[in-house]
Structure 1
Amino acid sequence: MEKALPAIPAKRYFTIGEVSDLCGVKPHVLRYWEQEFTQLRPMKRRGNRRYYQHHEVLMIRRIRDLLYDQGFTISGARNKLQEIVQGERDKRRNGEVMLEGVEVIEAFDSQLPDDFEDSTPGPEDSAVSEKLLLVRRELFEIRDLLSSGH
């Protein structure tokens, strides 16, 4: 069974080393993918150092999934990524609400045990667990409201 990728921290810029760790891909592979996928354009600063933004980390994870998990070739992944990007543009053009991050929440939710809401946390993490549970419920309520058109 493959190890799950770590959560992406809430920060604006990530170095190539951080992105490598977050996405399970070596830095030289990330540099190669920049040549192959035109959507992947990290900012370059002093000494040509790369700084990736949150959306680029998500894109790299999507590319990684297409190549490593779904078995696409580079060319096939490039085409599939273009389809996905075009589909998102079409949805925006048609006024549909894009909920970035919902797939992350749903993926996290699918990893929770079935009895998560009924489980009793230990005394050291009960306050944190309760807050996370409340945030989770609220996010799903917001998602449901937005998707129902209210």
Structure 2
Amino acid sequence: MQASNPEIGTGPLPPIPAKRYFTIGEVSELCGVKPHVLRYWEQEFTQLKPVKRRGNRRYYQHHEVLLIRRIRELLYQEGFTISGARNRLGESAIQEQESKVEADQYRAIVAEVRAEVQALLEDLRG
């Protein structure tokens, strides 16, 4: 189910420049979302925490711009509710953490096997 919102463009989003911080206006343009919506999403999605400096101005980092694009996709293109999108993002974070743990376990196994093979090679040579 696709939500229809006249404020949202259907074209591709512009590439994200290689910068450390982005203002709310820049993020609004990069993500196709109005600034007031970004401020609302900050309240709804705890993962979204822009740095606030100088007169409470918001500065978003690259990973937050990617997160906003993902939230936008879930809400506007995939038809999720705010609650549903929040749950989906939580599931993604859990899966990502599990994948990191699995990768670490596999690295440890590979290191053990490599050490065993090295020991066998040394035994065969010596």
Normalised-by-shorter TM-score class: 0.7 to 0.9
Question: Does 1:31 pair with 2:54?
Answer: no
- In 2, the alpha carbon distance for the partners of 1:15 and 1:21 equals 10
Query: What is the root-mean-square deviation in Å for CA atoms of aligned residues?
Result: 1.2
Q: 1:43 aligns with which of 41, 51, 64?
A: 51
How many equivalent pairs are there? 96
Question: Does 1:19 pair with 2:50?
Answer: no
Provide the TM-score with structure 2 as the length reference.
0.74
Report Cα offsets for 1:27-70 as digits up to 9, x if no partner.
Answer: 00000000000000000001000000000000000000000000
Deviation at 1:83, TM superposition (A): 0.5
Q: 1:4 aligns with which of 12, 26, 31?
A: 12
- Matching of residues 105-120 of structure 1 within 5 Å: none
Q: Structure 1: which amino acid aligns with 2:81?
A: T
- In 2, the alpha carbon distance for the partners of 1:43 and 1:88 equals 24
Deviation at 1:90, TM superposition (A): 1.0
Q: Structure 2: which amino acid aligns with 1:14?
A: F
Describe the SS at the equivalent of 2:67. Answer: helix
1:65 match: 73
Q: Which residues of structure 2 form unaligned runs of 5+?
A: 1-8, 105-126
Runs of 4+ in 1 over 3 A off after TM superposition: none
Q: 1:82 aligns with which of 70, 76, 90?
A: 90
Calculate percent identity across the aligned residue pairs: 73
Describe the SS at the equivalent of 1:50. Answer: strand
Deviation at 1:85, TM superposition (A): 1.1
